[in-house]
Amino acid sequence: MVPAQSGLIVQLIGRTEFTAPQDVPFETDAVGGQALAEFAGRSIYSSWERAVPATASNSGFLLHLLQVGHLSVLEHSSATFYLRGLSRSVTHEFLRHRHFSYSELSPRAEPQDVVEPAAIGADPVLHQRFQTAVAQARTAYEDLLDGLQQAGTSRPDGSLARKQARQAARAVLPLAQSTAIVVTGNYRAWRHFIGMRATEAADVELRMLAVALLAELQREAPHVFADFRISTLADGTSTAASPYVGDG
């Protein structure tokens, strides 16, 4: 589990397991998703003998796949994360990446704390304006919720009415509301996400999330993600890039 920034928690909760078939002469120095990716790549030509020294190891073989852009074998292996302390603004952007599976905290749940953008928090005047706006939105939410719940007291489906009241009242809450989400993706999808969202041009909160995910993935599958290099900008935030990441 990685507390990547104030309030943000990135936790790896699921990973690929691999068991080599007993009737295939396949051995490797890796386990899990990295071993499966190698097996899938070697199975294409039944190249079990490891005749080329540069690609004899798992790291060498996977590096070669990255260099030549043969990334389809990375789709067999996946990682699942439980992410907390990020804003709904960021998850709205995250959900645009269609090759992931998502399970997000319901909008009918009780409102959470807010995630204040770093650019606002760094300025005392803007910070106070933000806090005032958040407090006003929360007051409006509670007023609307109270009215909607009173209107729903006469309905026979009381439990459903209460849930619907919370969902309707949430319309006035800011996108800065904190949320939690479970995300599953294959290695290729994670590489693409990081390549797109860990750049300097990306939204700062989303970029910090991408870099934090990369740090976890480099521990989980270093041969697949070690080509990414993390660097620090003048403002203290981080970016990440790889020479092997393109549109594919």
Residues identified as active-site: 197
Instruction: Give the C-alpha separation, 11 to 7, whole Å.
Output: 13
The closest alpha carbon to 102, from 121, 119, 80, belongs to 80
Instruction: Give the C-alpha separation, 146 to 220, whole Å.
Output: 47
CA distances from 108 to 101, 105, 144, 162 (A): 20, 8, 14, 9
Residues 6+ apart with CB under 8 A from 181: 82, 83, 86, 91, 94, 102, 103, 104, 105
CA distances from 15 to 31, 60, 87, 185, 216 (A): 11, 22, 25, 10, 12
- DSSP sequence for 117-132: -HHHHTSHHHHHHHHH
